[in-house]
Amino acid sequence: MKIIFFGSAHFAVPALEALIKSPYEVCCVVTQPDKKKGRDMHLAATDIKAAAKLAGLKVFQPESVNSPEALNYLKSFSADLLVIVAYGQILSQEVLDIPKVIPINIHASLLPKYRGAAPINWAIINGESSTGVTIIKVIRKMDTGPIIAQKEVSINKDDDAITLEEKLRSLGAELLMAALKDIMNKTFKLIEQDEAQAVMAPKLKKVNGYIDWARPASEINNLVRGCLLWPGAFTYYKGKLLKIFKAEFGPDLSCKNKIQPGEVAQITEPKNEIVVATARGFLMIEELQLEAGKRMSAKEFVHGHKIKAGDLFGKK
């Protein structure tokens, strides 16, 4: 089978690498154009472009994959399949009609739950105990196509957006190979999604990382884990933005005085965890970063900023 692969993000790399090692022919890799990044604004390629070039594959980087020029170029390969994984552009019906057999997509959730751009993040933020990977036939309405294959994986209490993505990207590659075998043998089935079970997972915005201390500690901890990298869970301390990278949650502690959500209840020994009151339970902060500062352990932060019981986290 001849395959055109569409992908850009880190999540898509194992799927492409699995195809490269497979008996299938990857005739072209479509990825986003190089973009300026960093302080010096140098042009940086996508992770997929780097992997494709290393394997000697043809790389195509159209500004618009739906342009007439791009469409004609893609048609020239007479591909059997399109495999789409975290590409970054919405494909027109004309592009989806190119393959002789089917266009398929790897999505990082158990569809129809968590349709959208940030399924991994929202599964953690919402406190799910499991998620998974789904392979669907691609149709014009995003993430709504019939299911070809699906596999579940547990979300551990210490999983965050980074570790869970690593699990799912490997699982996606494994499931892709199984699905392609069924497609080649014409034994695959298309199972319609149950619209009544649909849950959306929109792209995260900066505001999604704001910590509301009037929420339970378990929910705040889920936010910290789910927002790692972007947008980052944040609060304010003495007028400065404070990001929290790692924390744990616990039950109510014995406190002599009534304390309010967002108030530092105590500094633990010997780890110097910063224990903050919430609406229910306490959040024990382990790693954090103050605006214009560096990421550090709670112990380093306590020593450097003289934080103490009674200090408040909250609005700027």
What's the CATH number where 249 sits? Answer: 3.10.25.10
* 251-263 core/surface letters (b: 16 or more CB in 10 A; e: else): eeeeeeeebebbb
Count of the separate structural domains present in the chain:
2
Q: Where does a domain end: 149, 177, 197?
A: 197
Question: Do 188 and 259 have their domain in common?
Answer: no
Q: Is 87 left (phi over 0), alpha (psi -120 to 50) or beta?
A: alpha
Question: Do 163 and 113 have their domain in common?
Answer: yes
Chain segment 55-64, per-residue pLDDT in tens: 999 999 999 9
Beta-bridged to residue 128, according to DSSP, are: none
Confidence band for 250, pLDDT divided at 50, 70 and 90: confident
DSSP 123: H
209-230: average pLDDT: 97
What's the CATH number where 180 sits? Answer: 3.40.50.170
Q: Where does a domain end: 197, 221, 242?
A: 197
* 73-105 core/surface letters (b: 16 or more CB in 10 A; e: else): ebeebebbbbbbbbbebebeeebbebbebbbbb
Return the structure tokens found at 309. 């019981």
Question: Do 50 and 143 have their domain in common?
Answer: yes
Give the list of residues 6+ apart from residue 163 with CB closer than 8 angstroms, or none: none
Question: Do 149 and 212 have their domain in common?
Answer: no
Chain segment 135-168, per-residue pLDDT in tens: 999 999 999 999 999 999 999 999 999 999 999 9
**Closest CA relative to residue 285, chosen from 213, 205, 231:** 213
Type of residue found at 91 = L
Chain segment 275-297, per-residue pLDDT in tens: 999 999 999 999 999 999 999 99
Question: Do 38 and 6 have their domain in common?
Answer: yes
Q: Quote the crossing angle between the two packed helices 13-21 and 47-54, to the nearest 10°.
A: 20
Chain segment 63-116, per-residue pLDDT in tens: 999 999 999 999 999 999 999 999 999 999 999 999 999 999 999 999 999 999
Q: Where does a domain end: 172, 197, 222?
A: 197
Question: Do 84 and 190 have their domain in common?
Answer: yes
Question: Do 105 and 188 have their domain in common?
Answer: yes
218-222: average pLDDT: 97
Question: Do 13 and 72 have their domain in common?
Answer: yes
Cα angle for residues 153, 102, 116 (degrees, 5° grid): 45
What is the model's pLDDT at position 247?
Answer: 97
User: How many CA atoms, within 13 angstroms, populate the side-chain half-sphere of residue 279?
Assistant: 10
DSSP 90: P
pLDDT over 90, % of the chain = 91
Question: Do 24 and 85 have their domain in common?
Answer: yes
Question: Do 304 and 157 have their domain in common?
Answer: no
> Which domain, by its residues, includes 61?
2-197
Residue 130 has pLDDT above 80, yes or no: yes
Secondary structure (DSSP) of 197-255: G--B-PPP-GGGGB--TTS-HHHHHHHHHHTTTTT-EEEEETTEEEEEEEEEEE-----
254-260: average pLDDT: 70
Longest dimension (CA), the chain: 75
Compute the distance between CA of residue 106 and CA of residue 24 in angstroms, rounded to an integer: 17
Question: Do 221 and 156 have their domain in common?
Answer: no
What is the model's pLDDT at position 274?
Answer: 96
**Closest CA relative to residue 118, chosen from 17, 31, 223:** 223
pLDDT over 70, % of the chain = 97
Secondary structure (DSSP) of 280-299: SSEEEEEEEEETTS--EEHH
Confidence band for 40, pLDDT divided at 50, 70 and 90: confident
Q: What are the start-end ranges of the H helices in the chain?
A: 13-21, 47-54, 68-75, 93-96, 119-125, 161-184, 217-226, 298-305
Chain segment 224-242, per-residue pLDDT in tens: 999 998 999 999 999 999 9
Q: Look over the chain and give the mean of its residue pLDDT values, rounded to a whole number.
A: 95
What is the model's pLDDT at position 239?
Answer: 94
Chain segment 297-306, per-residue pLDDT in tens: 999 999 999 9
What is the model's pLDDT at position 258?
Answer: 80
Question: Do 85 and 130 have their domain in common?
Answer: yes
